[in-house]
């Protein structure tokens, strides 16, 4: 994402400030040699993606772990779960009746959750429907300058997803494989979601219970949660204040 903004003529320092990231940490990460664990992760992640894609997006953690072992790749189930979360930036919720998956679309400027979707699968429909909600709620028109940043998960590079972005003239920014820094804000949001809702209010009964709770949590997050990157102002309030300032500022001829 930082590289994309830089290519558009913005300085690295400005891009880091917009994204709420440390410029020094960005450069340090670029220079730092990769650990043995990260090198191993980079070997495993394409394999996990391939198994997931071959299953039509239907395999979860348990089946992907078993499929890898059948191929002679011995990996712990917890490792597969961690890397699937990093690859797809998806929140997993275990319920008594099965897994539930959540996708968020985060507005980088205001930190508002602009769209979200809940499903019992990880097929392309999940992020695509979250994108459609965002377009509808934001009233985004064609060629509006939208930039959609995501990881390299198979759903985000599918022809259906990239085709929809092309339809609305949106620029696709895709993060590096196994590079969590590229997706720092999305990972932070998922961490807040997990700690503030999933782990605090679980265990969960079923899909419907999770869906209702997520709707309430997103409303609270946007309207009430104080965000440190916004000088401890809720995202929706920050956004409204910005629009008021724009309307009050005389437009140059």
Q: Bridge partners of 118?
A: 102
137-177 tens-digit pLDDT: 888 777 666 766 555 454 455 567 777 777 877 765 555 44
Number of H-type helices and E-type strands within the chain: 12, 5
Q: Bridge partners of 150?
A: 174
3-class SS at 79?
helix
Closest CA to 149 of 119, 118, 179: 179
Domains, the chain: 35-226 (3.30.420.10)
> Are the C-beta atoms of residues 229 and 111 closer than 8 Å to each other?
yes
3-class SS at 7?
helix
Question: What mean pLDDT do residues 45-63 have?
Answer: 78
Task: Provide DSSP, 106-164.
Answer: E-TTT--EEEEEEESS-STHHHHHHHHHHHHHHTPPTTS--EEEE---TTTTSHHHHHH
2-29 tens-digit pLDDT: 554 555 455 666 566 655 666 676 666 6
- Model pTM greater than 0.75? no
């Amino acid at each position: 994402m930082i590289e994309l903004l830089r290519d558009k003529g913005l300085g690295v320092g400005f891009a880091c400030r917009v994204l709420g990231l440390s410029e020094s940490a960005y450069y340090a990460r670029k220079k730092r040699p990769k650990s043995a664990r990260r090198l191993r992760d980079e070997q495993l992640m394409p394999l996990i993606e391939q198994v997931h894609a071959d299953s039509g997006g239907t395999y979860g953690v348990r089946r992907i772990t078993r499929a890898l072992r059948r191929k002679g790749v011995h990996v712990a189930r917890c490792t597969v779960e961690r890397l699937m979360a990093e690859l797809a930036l998806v929140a997993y919720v275990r319920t008594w009746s099965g897994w539930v998956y959540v996708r968020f679309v985060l507005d980088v400027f205001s930190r508002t959750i602009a769209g979200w979707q809940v499903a019992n699968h990880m097929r392309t429909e999940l992020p695509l429907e979250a994108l459609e909600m965002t377009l509808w709620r934001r009233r985004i028109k064609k060629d509006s300058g939208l930039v959609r940043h995501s990881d390299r998960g198979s759903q985000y590079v599918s022809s259906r997803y990239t085709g929809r972005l092309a339809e609305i003239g949106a620029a696709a920014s895709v993060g590096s494989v196994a590079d969590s820094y590229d997706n720092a804000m999305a990972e932070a949001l998922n961490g807040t979601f997990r700690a503030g809702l999933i782990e605090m209010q679980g265990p969960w009964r079923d899909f419907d219970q999770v869906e209702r709770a997520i709707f309430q949590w997103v409303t609270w997050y946007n309207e009430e949660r104080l965000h440190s990157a916004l000088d401890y102002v809720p995202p929706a309030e920050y956004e409204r204040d910005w629009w008021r300032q724009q309307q009050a500022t005389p437009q140059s001829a």
